DNA sequence: GCAGTTACTTGAGGTTGTCAAGCATTGAGG
DNA sequence: CCTCAATGCTTGACAACCTCAAGTAACTGC
């Protein structure tokens, strides 16, 4: 709203814009998740479970305490989207895997998110390519484990 | 991780990348907020209060129920960062305004967020200008009130 | 002045987040 | 083999947020 010509203002404006788009993307995600009667975290978990994974891995991926995953898995399991299974060789580990219903839900969710993304609706193919290059550069830096 | 050459894959990859950067920005925000002993929502509220505003306006800005703001304001007020004040002409309205401490905190918070932003650290000035143009285009579309 | 709306608060109920403690299992060393 | 530390998951306590419904006070329109 108040762009400046100084270098400091430039940096601030870019950051503000990124925050705005981030907010929008986040809200878009929440809205789509709500459409499927999912909380954001439940949706995140579903998306992460494209292939089965130990609960520990999911906790790492979501950057939260393992005890948190117990509850999220409980709620998804009670609705039949996810199942706990043992893993051969280590009886401590519980693998989380999508059920048939869970897989269907996950695909629909993923598609809906892509469709509703502001970037998809506002930018053309060439612009997206440019954006992709910049985002990749910003995304790679340091924080890319998993 | 698995870029494709199809148009559909292209769209999906771009959306995934945007989600990744969004995640990163969000995490960055949470981490910085935690540095100041603030929850993400408390930090958001502080940033929104650059100038005093009625609680209702804050609720609209944060897209949440008004009752939610009561609690957030309570916690910020109990720590001396915010104060409730009456507004002339309408005794229903409570204006939220930053205290001196709150203003100091807000500036420090804002600066820290900009500094730590992945976009600031990974992209140079020219790249940021390109990014800004693309983000602006994505941000403007339809959802720009407030 | 009366009815309806608006601003804020309060309380109930659910999800998420942390931390500390507990249980079972695994793995490494003596 | 046995002990002991580390690991994976669960549970319980507690705080923050979130929504909805209900309540109070104050404004607005008629």
Q: What angle do CA B105, A16, B97 make, to 5 degrees?
A: 35
Which of A5-9, A43-47, B45-49, B126-130 has the lowest average pLDDT?
A5-9
Strand D CB-contacts below 7 Å: A 54-56, 59, 66-67, 69-71, 73-74, 84, 90, 92-95; B 39-42, 62-65, 67-68, 71-72, 75, 89-92
B101 has a pLDDT exceeding 70? yes
A119, A131 contact by CB (below 8 A)? yes
Condensed to tens digits (0 to 9), the pLDDT of residues A47-87 reads 999 999 999 999 999 999 999 999 999 999 999 999 999 99
Interface-testing mutation among B1, B10, B21, B29, with chain A (most A C-beta atoms within 10 A): B21
Band (pLDDT 50/70/90 cuts) for residue B145 is: very low
What's the CA B65/C1' D20 distance, rounded, in angstroms? 9
A90: which residues sit within 8 A by CB, 6+ positions away? none
Q: What residues in B contact A113, CB-CB < 8 Å?
A: 15, 19
How far the first Cα of chain B sits from its last, in Å, is 36
What's the CA B90/C1' C8 distance, rounded, in angstroms? 12
pTM: 0.88
């Amino acid at each position: 709203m108040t762009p400046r010509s100084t270098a400091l203002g430039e940096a601030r404006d870019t950051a503000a814009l990124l925050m705005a788009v981030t907010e929008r993307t986040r809200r878009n995600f929440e809205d789509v998740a709500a459409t499927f009667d999912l909380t954001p975290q439940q949706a995140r978990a579903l998306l992460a479970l494209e292939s089965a994974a130990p609960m520990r891995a999911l906790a790492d991926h979501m950057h939260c305490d393992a005890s948190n995953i117990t509850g999220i898995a409980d709620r998804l399991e009670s609705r039949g989207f996810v199942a706990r299974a043992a893993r051969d060789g280590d009886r401590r580990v519980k693998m989380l895997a999508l059920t048939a219903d869970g897989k269907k839900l996950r695909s629909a969710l993923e598609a809906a998110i892509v469709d509703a993304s502001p970037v998809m609706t506002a930018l053309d193919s060439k612009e997206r390519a440019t954006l992709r290059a910049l985002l990749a550069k910003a995304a790679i830096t340091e924080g890319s484990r998993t």
